[in-house]
Amino acid sequence: MSDPVLLHDPREDDLDDLVQSNGDAHVNATTPVLDALKAARARHAGERTYDAVVPGWLDLLVLRLGPISGQQQERLFDRPGRVRSATVNAGILVAAFRGAYGRTTPTGDLELIVDEDGDPCLLDQRLADRLDLGEVHSAREMLERLFSSANSPSLAIAGIANEYGEWARGAGDEIDDEFVGE
């Protein structure tokens, strides 16, 4: 007799169906325990940033980057007509941007760059004004101006985006290791 014809591929099943109980007796976690676990993970995850030194500024200019949401990632990668890697790389850095920092020496303390009112500068005209970079019309244009002194601005942006990507992929592992005390 021949093998039966499968009308349904089991590989397409929801992965939740693959979860198996270990069969051990257990005590259910109480709400306070679950709340404490969630709060601890949120606290650790909220503190995560990556400092990227901008080439062409003698190690004096740093962009602080943070995690980006899944929704932001979808918007970056699922845009029709925006498949160029340079566009995606710049988009990643713009989405991850948390602040621009400067220092007087390459090993000095970082200081947040603020506008005349003391508000943090974003990737906008206020930052361009503070750094005498001329007129800008978008966050991406501001980012390109910041990298304009690099030997190859687009490759420098790609390099920072790749470094950030490595950090972002590993950040979850770091959070988990710290959470369990390893």
Predicted local distance difference test score (pLDDT) of residue 139? 94
Report yes or no on 169 lying in a domain: yes
Report yes or no on 98 lying in a domain: yes
Report yes or no on 12 lying in a domain: no
Please write the tens of the pLDDT for every residue from 79-105: 655 456 778 889 899 999 999 999 999
What distance in Å separates the CA atoms of residue 148 and residue 151, rounded to the nearest whole number?
8
Residues spanned by the domain of 64: 50-179
What distance in Å separates the CA atoms of residue 113 and residue 98, rounded to the nearest whole number?
11
Predicted local distance difference test score (pLDDT) of residue 164? 93
Contact 54, 94 (CB under 8 A): no
**Rounded average pLDDT over 127-147:** 96
**CB proximity list for 32: less than 8 A, separation 6 or greater:** none
User: When comparing pLDDT for 41 and 170, which is higher?
Assistant: 170
Please give the helix or strand (H or E) that residue 156 lies within, else none: helix 153-179
**Rounded average pLDDT over 14-34:** 63
What distance in Å separates the CA atoms of residue 159 and residue 81, rounded to the nearest whole number?
23
Please write the tens of the pLDDT for every residue from 39-69: 877 776 656 899 999 999 999 999 999 988 7
Predicted local distance difference test score (pLDDT) of residue 49? 92
Report yes or no on 31 lying in a domain: no
**pTM of the shown model:** 0.68
Report yes or no on 59 lying in a domain: yes
Report yes or no on 81 lying in a domain: yes
Q: Please state the domain count of the chain.
A: 1
User: When comparing pLDDT for 28 and 92, which is higher?
Assistant: 92
Report yes or no on 25 lying in a domain: no
User: When comparing pLDDT for 19 and 109, which is higher?
Assistant: 109
Residue-by-residue DSSP string for 27-83: -PPPHHHHHHHHHHHHHHHHT--EEEEPTTSTT-EEEEE----HHHHHHHHS-TT--
Report yes or no on 128 lying in a domain: yes
Contact 78, 43 (CB under 8 A): no
Percent of the chain whose predicted confidence (pLDDT) is above 70: 71
Predicted local distance difference test score (pLDDT) of residue 68? 86
What distance in Å separates the CA atoms of residue 78 and residue 69, rounded to the nearest whole number?
14
